[in-house]
Structure 1
Amino acid sequence: MRTVFAAAAILLASGAQAQLIKCDQASTQTDMNLCADQAYRKSDADLNAAYKEAMTRLKDRKDAATQLEAAQKAWLFFRDAECTFSSGGVTGGSAYPMVLSMCLDELTQARTKQLHAYLKCEEGDMSCPVPGKP
């Protein structure tokens, strides 16, 4: 778990540089690492927005809000552990930050898609835990 945070801290410190890179033309490992981090950060922002909207819709359903919060915390733990494991083959190498960020990005996008599905439930769908827009 420490390696996830160490890689994230390094990339965070370099975040401003990522804005200057044309990611479709990245040719150095450093640029590819920064671009992968930039993509993950966008996905993470999208995830946070979807989660916030779901929690807002659950404001009158405290039990459901507590369940979503617990599920999200468990999912974050899983995501970080899974990506630490799946990028383990390059730990210590120059590609590690890129591989880690790509995994985080992919799983974060999948979770965001799940949350968006909850936000688009049809009225009367009893299998949907998040109420529609008021």
Structure 2
Amino acid sequence: MNQCFGAEFQKSDKKLNELYKQIEARLKNDADTKKLLVQAQRDWGKFRDAECSFQTAGAAGGSMMPMLIAQCMDGLTQSRAKDFEGYLKCQEGDMSCPVPAAN
């Protein structure tokens, strides 16, 4: 089970990284916003790790711990990927969206 959940997390993480690269490409001409993206993603990674440690504290040291951590990380990563997908669908002129529309 640990391997299965670990593999699911790796799949979600790969998708997130692909979406991140697409967002970075759209921000190539906006160094300030790109810097904010990099910082936000670093902070999000720290949050994800801390949140999953907290959520799985009851299983600390147990054999289910790796599975529970992978499950938590997968869920949060999928949620972040949905956010990124939303950023990539921004409409031209949407000032509430940090990512410019595709050309």
Common fold, TM-score beyond 0.5? yes
Match of 1:63 in 2: 32
**In structure 1, how many angstroms separate the alpha carbons of the residues matched to 2:54 and 2:4?**
21
Which structure has the larger Rg over C-alpha atoms?
1
Question: Cα RMSD between the aligned structures?
Answer: 0.6
TM-score (norm. length: structure 1): 0.75
Could you tell me which amino acid in structure 2 is paired with residue 57 of structure 1?
R
How far residue 124 of structure 1 moved from its aligned partner, in angstroms, is: 1.3
Match of 1:125 in 2: 94
**In structure 2, how many angstroms separate the alpha carbons of the residues matched to 1:87 and 1:36?**
14
**In structure 1, how many angstroms separate the alpha carbons of the residues matched to 2:95 and 2:77?**
26
- Corresponding position: 1:102 with 2:62: no
- Corresponding position: 1:92 with 2:57: no
Deviating runs (4+, > 2 A) in structure 1?
A: none
How far residue 76 of structure 1 moved from its aligned partner, in angstroms, is: 0.4
Match of 1:53 in 2: 22
Gaps of 5+ in 1: 1-31
TM-score (norm. length: structure 2): 0.97
Gaps of 5+ in 2: none
